[in-house]
């Protein structure tokens, strides 16, 4: 493995913190190889999780303290600051004694006030830098609460990281960005701590869940008060033991850094994430229409069994009225909603008319 060569061209001193490194520390070789490549492109803060809180049991949960020596070696050989995720109070002292420069508290941990209290107690009076990720739900108070619990124990070097929240419906992005949480947190923090400011980093990797979408999330983040980035980077992303789909190679990170530091975002950069959200909503509309068709088919079975006609004037009128009323309630034009209903309704009637011609092999599901 080569030692990092000094950078030949000068990059503007980044105005923001950039933390990069793999999702998990897997082996000494993987930690070192990724770190040396990152150091050679000018990264100053290296991350790798020793512990991995997994949603479900049975997958890789981190190498634990045995990987501490690898991070120490990275620190000694590259002079980068090194950090890892802290999940439990008993992990605090070995990390502090081991010379770890920064830790972060993950989204799942931040969602648990008692755990945060114990971690804050274990860190009491420490000058280690702590990055607090937002909780998995879009609850800015819970996020602030974790920060307050740390500050109440004299842990003062605290920053925040926006990593998005679990979406209600599956979407193109792994986590919904909830950009305004960054603005809200800054305001709440400043109100709570007499005008003091807190830095908020952006973690585009966990928002995107896909390496190809990381750049557009970073670009969109420029519309919000973001003070830096935490970006998952792995020398061989496709072989990563965790979060393989979302990690960049150091070369990809370098191109992204160059764009972030040296290029103003284009209109497309800012529009792309909005387009993903729009496409997700369009997908949901299609899914809902398909679900609606399933119900229309069940109604068709009932009508066939009881000799009713597909078109029923009173049900049609009641639904049309509901569409117009509901649309107006949420700021849509009633006439647009009525046209939409007309199309949807006609499609159901056509389906049921076709069913009337068929031999009744399909039975109406029994109501429990």
Applying CB under 5 A, the residues found at the interface with Mn ion are: 23, 243
Strands, E assignment, the chain: 17-21, 45-47, 81-85, 102-105, 129-133, 158-162, 200-202, 228-232
| Distance (Å, whole) CA 80 – CA 269 | 30
Q: Is 206 in the site for ligand PEP (CB under 6 A)?
A: yes
Burial of 45 (0-12, 13-18, 19+ CB in 10 A): buried
Asked if residue 83 lies in contact with residue 52, where contact means CB atoms within 8 angstroms, the answer is no
Q: What are phi and psi of 102, to 5 degrees?
A: -150, 155
Binding partner selected for residue 45 from Mn ion, ligand PEP, none, CB under the kind-specific 5 to 8 Å limit: none
| Distance (Å, whole) CA 220 – CA 210 | 16
Asked if residue 250 lies in contact with residue 231, where contact means CB atoms within 8 angstroms, the answer is no
Least distance between ligand PEP and beta carbon 203 (Å): 6
Least distance between ligand PEP and beta carbon 106 (Å): 3
Q: Which residue number, 163 or 304, has a Cβ lying nearer to ligand PEP?
A: 163
Q: Which residue number, 164 or 300, has a Cβ lying nearer to ligand PEP?
A: 164
Query: DSSP character for 238?
Result: G
| Distance (Å, whole) CA 122 – CA 273 | 39
Least distance between ligand PEP and beta carbon 171 (Å): 16
Query: Which residue shows structure tokens 């501490």?
Result: 68
Least distance between ligand PEP and beta carbon 155 (Å): 18
| β-strand pairing of 45-47 with 81-85 | parallel
Binding partner selected for residue 33 from ligand PEP, Mn ion, none, CB under the kind-specific 5 to 8 Å limit: none
Q: Which residue number, 86 or 122, has a Cβ lying nearer to ligand PEP?
A: 86
Binding ligand PEP (rule: CB under 6 A), the pick from 23, 95, 327, 355 is: 23
43's tokens: 């990264």
Burial of 340 (0-12, 13-18, 19+ CB in 10 A): middle
Q: Which residue number, 181 or 324, has a Cβ lying nearer to ligand PEP?
A: 181
Q: Which residue number, 243 or 269, has a Cβ lying nearer to Mn ion?
A: 243
Binding partner selected for residue 163 from ligand PEP, Mn ion, none, CB under the kind-specific 5 to 8 Å limit: ligand PEP
Q: Which residue number, 36 or 50, has a Cβ lying nearer to ligand PEP?
A: 50
Binding partner selected for residue 178 from ligand PEP, Mn ion, none, CB under the kind-specific 5 to 8 Å limit: none
Closest residue to ligand PEP, judged by C-beta, is 106
Binding ligand PEP (rule: CB under 6 A), the pick from 45, 163, 178, 304 is: 163
x/- binding map, residues 101-130, to ligand PEP, per CB under 6 A? -----xxx----------------------
Contacting residues toward ligand PEP, per CB under 6 A: 23, 49, 106-108, 133, 163, 203, 206
């Amino acid at each position: 493995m080569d030692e990092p060569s000094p950078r030949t061209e000068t990059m503007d001193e980044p105005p923001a913190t950039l933390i990069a490194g793999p999702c998990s520390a897997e082996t000494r070789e993987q930690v070192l190889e990724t770190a040396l490549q990152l150091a050679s492109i000018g990264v100053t803060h290296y991350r790798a999780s020793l512990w991995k809180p997994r949603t479900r049991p049975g997958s890789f949960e981190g190498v634990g303290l045995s990987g501490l020596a690898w991070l120490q070696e990275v620190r000694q050989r590259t002079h980068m600051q090194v950090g890892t995720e802290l999940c439990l109070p008993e992990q605090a002292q070995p990390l502090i004694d081991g010379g770890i420069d920064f830790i972060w508290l993950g989204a799942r941990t931040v969602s648990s006030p008692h755990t945060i209290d114990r971690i804050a107690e274990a860190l009491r009076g420490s000058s280690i830098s702590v990055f607090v990720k937002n909780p998995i739900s879009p609850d800015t108070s819970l996020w602030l609460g974790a920060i307050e619990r740390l500050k109440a124990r004299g842990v003062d070097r605290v920053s925040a990281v926006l990593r998005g929240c679990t979406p209600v419906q599956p979407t193109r992005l792994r986590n919904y960005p909830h950009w305004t949480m960054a603005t809200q947190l800054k305001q709440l923090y400043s109100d709570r701590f007499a005008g003091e400011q807190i830095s908020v980093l952006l973690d585009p990797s966990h928002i995107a869940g896909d390496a190809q979408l990381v750049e557009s999330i970073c670009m969109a983040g420029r519309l919000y008060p973001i003070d830096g980035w935490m970006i998952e980077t792995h020398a061989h992303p496709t072989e990563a033991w965790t979060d393989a789909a979302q990690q960049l190679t150091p070369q990809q990170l370098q191109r992204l850094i160059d764009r972030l530091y040296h290029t103003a975002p284009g209109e497309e950069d800012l529009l792309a994430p909005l387009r993903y959200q729009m496409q997700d909503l369009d997908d949901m509309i299609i899914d809902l229409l398909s679900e609606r068709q399933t119900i229309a088919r069940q109604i068709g079975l009932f009508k066939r069994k009881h000799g009713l006609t597909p078109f029923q004037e009173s049900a049609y009128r009641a639904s049309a009225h509901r569409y117009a009323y509901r649309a107006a309630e949420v700021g849509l034009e009633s006439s647009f909603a009525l046209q939409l209903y007309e199309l949807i309704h006609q499609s159901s009637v056509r389906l049921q008319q076709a069913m009337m011609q068929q031999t009744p092999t399909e039975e109406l599901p029994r109501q429990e």
